[in-house]
Amino acid sequence: MKIADLIRKLDYHFNDIKGEAVTDPELTRALLQTEIKGIYNDSRKVEEGGLFFCIKGEITDGHKYIPQVLEKGARALVVQEDQDITPYVKGEAPVVIRVYDTRYAMAWISAAWYGNPASRMKIIGITGTKGKTTTTYMVRNILQNAGYKVGLVGTIETLYGDVKIPSPTTTPESMTLQKYFRDMADAGMEAVVMEVSSQALMMHRTQGFIFDYGIFTNLSPDHIGHGEHRDFDHYLECKSMLFKQCRVGIVNGDDPYTDRILDGHTCSVETYGLKETNDLYAEDLDLIRKPGELGIRFHVKGLLDFDAEVPMPGRFSVYNALCAIAICRHFNADTEAIRKALLGIKVRGRIEMVKVSDHFTLLIDYAHNALSLRSLLNSLRDYEPHRLVTLFGCGGDRDPERRFLMGEESGRTSDFTIITSDNPRTEDPMKIIEDIETGIKRTDGAYITIPDRKEAIAYAIHNGQEGDIIVLAGKGHEDYQIIGKTKHHMDERELIRDILEEDARRT
């Protein structure tokens, strides 16, 4: 593909090998006609005739790899700093494309390289602090039930057809995302629903196309600190970028930050929520309690009118379902398809109920900070459990303040806490547990410490009482435990199964 076709939508200029701008029109025209055989953001993978993006990141600067990629035969470089590369040029001079931001340029060049595949599908982007993962699966279930072929990109995995790819990040790098889009379009997907993180928006991973639908679930302080967002205002500002990059915005009209999220928006806007002032809202909420299971019924009003039920607990499950309904309304999904899909929803590690007894309820959730734990536990309180039992640990090599806050939250909101190990990484697991204890001791909450997670889960199951709700928090969809720098396989569902099988053999 010619460079002219790759950079058509970018502001740029060409530099010579001394780092000075090319001003000769004839040379510029010649450079535009240069053929590129591949695009790369990893210097180790560069092949002859390729274009390399010099990404300036938190840990490393791609500009320093210019000598290596030229040695491998790179034909073009995308830079955001003027570079004198004269010492590294051995033969034909590479094409040097100077841009303001190489990440932004990478998104647009990647989209062009893969043939702008997003234009062949309807793209749904969901942002917010909580609810993104569950809502993407709800949308996928509903649209598939309505007869659409749907791809999904999110925190847990990327899915399309029979393809399942584990996700290292919530939103992939732009070059990977465009490759997924191309593969999905080629596989016949008609729509893609994806999670859009604040960092992805900040780092331009979702540039290069326009979302058909941009979604806002809710906002609370998160991802603030070194390497993430400098403060809450910056976090909010990054989230709001989605609504300058979509055609239709569908937002939680009840959230106190919605007006700020929509500041400067360029899309049409619809709202959903529990208040009657929203375009789509829910009323007559009814909690469902079954042996070992929890759920909620509600009536949809406004733009649609029907009864619905979700086999997941809490008011936040109603918000997630309403959000999914608001999206799928645009795809003409009928109410029966919506109702059926919602009844069958089960999301790995998101208030995921695992049946172990008719006497108490056990669920797995990804809640891994104080705010998400508070939201979860307060919602479960509505079900009036005999006891609310919370099992959790905290990750090592992370901000210790999170441990104090989670311990304090669990001690205040739970009837009983089981403190265990999560991903200790290079820290002493007992030191992490002691930090959690510091927080829980600020309350009157009863607790026990059991460092081994399997033993802790076994204790929770063996001591479950009639009417209890037991929450295994923190790991969610993860199927590993990081000890030192090694990732060991550990899936809580498998641990539960093993515990029950061992119990059966003993009886």
Q: What is the mean pLDDT of the chain?
A: 95
Phi-psi region at 264: left, alpha or beta (left = phi > 0; alpha = psi -120 to 50): left
Mean local confidence (pLDDT), 274-296? 95
Structure confidence at residue 152 as a pLDDT band (50, 70, 90):
very high
Are both 121 and 250 inside the same structural domain?
yes
Q: Is 228 a residue whose pLDDT tops 80? A: no
What burial class does residue 60 get, using C-beta atoms within 10 Å of its C-beta: 0-12 exposed, 13-18 middle, 19+ buried?
A: exposed
Structure confidence at residue 507 as a pLDDT band (50, 70, 90):
confident
Domain boundary among 343, 378, 412: 343
- Structure-model confidence comparison of residues 232 and 341, the more confident one: 341
Residue 272 parent element (H or E): strand 268-273
The CA–CA distances, whole Å, from 417 to 386, 403, 408, 445 equal: 14, 14, 11, 7
CATH code of the domain covering residue 177: 3.40.1190.10
Are both 89 and 121 inside the same structural domain?
no
> What does the radius of gyration of the chain's CA atoms come to, in whole angstroms?
25
Are both 55 and 71 inside the same structural domain?
yes
pLDDT at position 37, please? 98
Domain boundary among 314, 343, 372: 343
Q: What letter represents residue 311's amino acid?
A: P
Structure confidence at residue 227 as a pLDDT band (50, 70, 90):
low
Are both 250 and 148 inside the same structural domain?
yes
CATH code of the domain covering residue 423: 3.90.190.20
pLDDT at position 285, please? 97
Are both 397 and 283 inside the same structural domain?
no
Residue-wise DSSP of 202-221: HTTTT-SS-EEEEEE----S
Q: Is 284 a residue whose pLDDT tops 60? A: yes
Tally of domains in the chain: 3
pLDDT at position 314, please? 92
Are both 29 and 122 inside the same structural domain?
no
Are both 411 and 445 inside the same structural domain?
yes
Are both 434 and 482 inside the same structural domain?
yes
Please name which of 210, 31, 198 lies closest in space to residue 118, comparing C-alpha atoms: 210
Mean local confidence (pLDDT), 405-428? 97
Structure confidence at residue 155 as a pLDDT band (50, 70, 90):
very high
Q: Is 141 a residue whose pLDDT tops 70? A: yes
Are both 263 and 210 inside the same structural domain?
yes
Q: What are phi and psi of 310, to 5 degrees?
A: -125, 130
CA geometry: angle 222, 165, 62, nearest 5 deg: 65
pLDDT in tens, 17-42: 999 999 999 999 999 999 999 999 99
Are both 167 and 269 inside the same structural domain?
yes
pLDDT in tens, 96-131: 999 999 999 999 999 999 999 999 999 999 999 899
Show the domain range for 480.
352-506
Are both 319 and 447 inside the same structural domain?
no
pLDDT in tens, 347-378: 999 999 999 999 999 999 999 899 899 999 99
pLDDT in tens, 490-502: 999 999 999 999 9
Q: Is 243 a residue whose pLDDT tops 60? A: yes
Structure confidence at residue 230 as a pLDDT band (50, 70, 90):
low
Q: State whether residue 438 is helix, strand or coil.
A: helix
Are both 75 and 121 inside the same structural domain?
no
Q: Are 442 and 360 in contact (CB under 8 A)?
A: no
Tokens of 313: 């607990």
pLDDT in tens, 313-331: 999 999 999 999 999 999 9
pLDDT at position 454, please? 97
Structure confidence at residue 139 as a pLDDT band (50, 70, 90):
very high
CATH code of the domain covering residue 90: 3.40.1390.10
Domain boundary among 318, 343, 368: 343
pLDDT in tens, 425-483: 999 999 999 999 999 999 999 999 999 999 999 999 999 999 999 999 999 999 999 99
Phi-psi region at 384: left, alpha or beta (left = phi > 0; alpha = psi -120 to 50): left
Q: Is 226 a residue whose pLDDT tops 80? A: no
